[in-house]
């Protein structure tokens, strides 16, 4: 059994695409994949509970052409005649800002290695899964597949350096207790990333000031986690959301309802997570009572996940 973690971004989505730091937390066991030798002459992939069946044959599998293309890329990494039947179990919503495609990619690549009895360095898994991610997201920062590969809580910065120099895991004084609420489908992450890139091109000075503010929030958020200051952490989450929603226009009425409901039920802070335009929001809670209240408030509006 091979695993890939999901993730939520606490601070720094979109600015991370442009070289600024972000802070993320993994969601354990986002994807699980098993592999056995195939009898079909093709590498195949079945994904539950999504009900998806793919193979590396020449026939396009509609509407999953991107997944099929990613599977073919994964197979092409190996110069051999080993074909596998891959079975994946997903524990994350797709296209929701929780890193489902990266979790699946890392788990698939690890399962393909395990079947061949290959032990591959983490850096190589990261590099290969980044190629997989480009199929879905065009210009990914690498944070999703970095967290899918490594797990834990970490800061990440895009760049040419090895992953070990850009992904900086750290241990918080108290692990943050988070809930994610799913507001509904979101547009393509590639489209949302391109929208922010277009804004940067049109208004470079203003946009870089917003990136500066988000970078300060990332740094202060890490400090709050190291000190165990959950109240400050919640306030920083809300501040980050205000920038994402007001300047980058990444929120939606459904997300705003969930964020308002979470804060009304006692959450210390709440924000959109991931590409935005839909998908998930996250809320920070500090007690069992607040957890129950916030979970009930979010569940009245959509699916809820412990993260």
Same domain, 223 and 142: no
| CATH number, position 51 | 3.30.230.10
Q: Mean pLDDT over residues 62-84, rounded?
A: 96
Same domain, 253 and 164: no
The model's pLDDT over 200-232, given as tens digits with 9 standing for 90+, comes to 999 999 999 999 999 999 999 999 999 999 999
Same domain, 157 and 182: no
Residue 29: pLDDT band (50, 70, 90) is: confident
CA distance 169 to 226: 12
Average pLDDT, the chain: 95
Same domain, 25 and 117: yes
Residue where a domain terminates, one of 169, 193, 217: 169
pLDDT value for 36:
97
Same domain, 290 and 162: no
Q: What is the percent of the chain where pLDDT is above 70?
A: 100
Same domain, 82 and 224: no
Q: Mean pLDDT over residues 242-268, rounded?
A: 97
Same domain, 283 and 224: yes
Domain extent for 103: 2-169
Q: Number of structural domains, the chain?
A: 2
Same domain, 184 and 99: no
CB burial of 25-55 (b: ≥16 within 10 Å; e: otherwise) equals bbbebbbbbbbeebeeebbbbbbeebebebb
Same domain, 147 and 217: no
pLDDT value for 94:
83
Contact 242, 217 (CB under 8 A): no
Contact 194, 206 (CB under 8 A): no
Residue where a domain terminates, one of 134, 169, 204: 169
The model's pLDDT over 147-193, given as tens digits with 9 standing for 90+, comes to 999 999 999 999 999 999 999 999 999 999 999 999 998 888 888 99
Contact 255, 244 (CB under 8 A): no
Residue 92: pLDDT band (50, 70, 90) is: confident
Same domain, 268 and 290: yes
């Amino acid at each position: 059994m091979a695993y890939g973690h999901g993730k939520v971004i606490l601070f720094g989505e979109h600015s991370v695409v442009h070289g600024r730091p972000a802070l993320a937390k993994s969601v354990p066991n986002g994807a699980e994949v098993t592999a056995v030798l195939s009898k079909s002459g093709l590498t195949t992939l079945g994904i539950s509970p999504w009900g998806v069946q793919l193979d590396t044959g020449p026939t396009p599998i509609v509407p999953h052409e991107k997944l099929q293309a990613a599977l073919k890329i994964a197979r092409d990494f190996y110069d051999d005649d080993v074909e596998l039947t891959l079975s994946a179990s997903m524990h994350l919503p797709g296209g929701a800002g929780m890193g489902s495609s990266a979790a699946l990619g890392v788990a698939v690549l690890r399962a393909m290695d395990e079947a061949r009895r290959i032990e591959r360095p983490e850096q190589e898994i990261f590099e290969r899964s980044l190629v997989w991610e480009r199929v879905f997201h065009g210009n990914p920062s690498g944070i999703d597949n970095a967290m899918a590969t490594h797990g834990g809580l970490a800061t990440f910065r895009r760049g040419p350096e090895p992953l070990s120099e850009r992904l900086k895991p750290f241990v918080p004084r108290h692990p943050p207790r988070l809930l994610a609420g799913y507001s509904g489908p979101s547009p393509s992450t590639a489209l949302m990333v391109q929208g922010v890139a277009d804004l940067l091109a049109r208004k470079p000075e203003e946009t870089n000031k917003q990136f500066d503010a988000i970078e300060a929030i990332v740094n202060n958020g890490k400090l709050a986690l190291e000190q165990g200051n959950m109240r400050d952490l919640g306030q920083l989450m809300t501040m980050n959301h205000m920038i994402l929603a007001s300047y980058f226009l990444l929120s939606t009425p459904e997300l705003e309802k969930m964020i308002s409901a979470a804060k009304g039920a006692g959450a210390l802070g709440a924000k959109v997570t991931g590409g935005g335009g839909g998908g998930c929001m996250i809320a920070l809670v500090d007690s069992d009572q607040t957890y129950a209240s916030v979970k009930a408030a979010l569940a009245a509006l959509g699916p809820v996940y412990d993260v």
